[in-house]
Amino acid sequence: MTVTLVRPGPGYERIGEGRHSVVFRRPGSPRVVQLFRADCDTLTVAKLNREYDYLQAVFAPSLPRLLPRQRLFTPGPDAPLGHVVIVKEYVEVDQRLSLTNTAPSHLPVATWRQLVTFLRLVRHLLLDTTPHAALGTDASLIPDIIDPPLQNLVVDTNGNLRLLDTNRLISTAGLRRRHHAGQTVRLDRDVIHALLLRRMMFLESRWRGRTRAELARDPVYTRYLTREDITALITASGAAGEPLSP
């Protein structure tokens, strides 16, 4: 059970819960309140601010509506996360437009263009695994798009691609280390990176029409995966209900 030190005011309803936080909203409000677990020891105020600024720098110039607007309230820069409150824009998700189940012909053209732009930017982050001291990170960071139902990357009711939780990021540091050592991802041990590459292949197949043969030759995937690994991930994607184009 998630325990937070700060409690929402009267009239707030819990609308979501993750590993680190709980999200509340008053019915009809254009904003939500995000509260953090009292025992959360993997996030800090500085990390929250730094990573949100990082996402803004990477994605906002091309996708200005991707990241919900938010403001962080804290009693001090060293306050524990249980005392932190994030007030952020409420995103009304279009439940008819799941990025894993919707037929490509049903996605609005403007939304499809945003999705293609997002995939292009993530591909760049996967290849650009050098340190980014100016952005306060030792490797590129990628939004979390590996949750099984893909509920973090969504389409809102205005047809905009949105990222709901900006505190869940995947570092490419491990990918960089293995690549520089001349090694590839270990599917059984580097689970997060394997899932990320699998989901990317699926999204590129579904929304960019890329075939299995094209993905098997793609420099993003061949950098981190053997041909056998690519085949295994394609098979696993199909088994998970996300088949790739032949």
Query: How is 174-186 classified by DSSP, letter by letter?
Result: HHHHHHHTT----
Reported as half-sphere exposure (CB side, CA atoms, 13 A), residue 21 has a value of 26
Q: What is the per-residue pLDDT for 196?
A: 98
> How high does pLDDT run on average in the chain?
91
Taking residues 57-75, report their average pLDDT: 95
Cβ count within 10 A of residue 56 = 14
Q: What is the per-residue pLDDT for 135?
A: 55
> How far apart are alpha carbons 201 and 126 in whole angstroms?
13
Q: Which residue has the higher pLDDT, 213 or 46?
A: 213
Cβ count within 10 A of residue 189 = 8
pTM summary value: 0.93
Domain at 13-89: CATH architecture: 2-Layer Sandwich (3.30)
Specify which residues 153 forms β-bridges with.
Answer: 163
Q: What is the pLDDT of residues 212-241, one digit of tens each?
A: 999 999 999 999 999 999 999 999 999 999
Cα distances (Å, whole numbers) of residue 50 to 18, 33, 42: 20, 20, 14
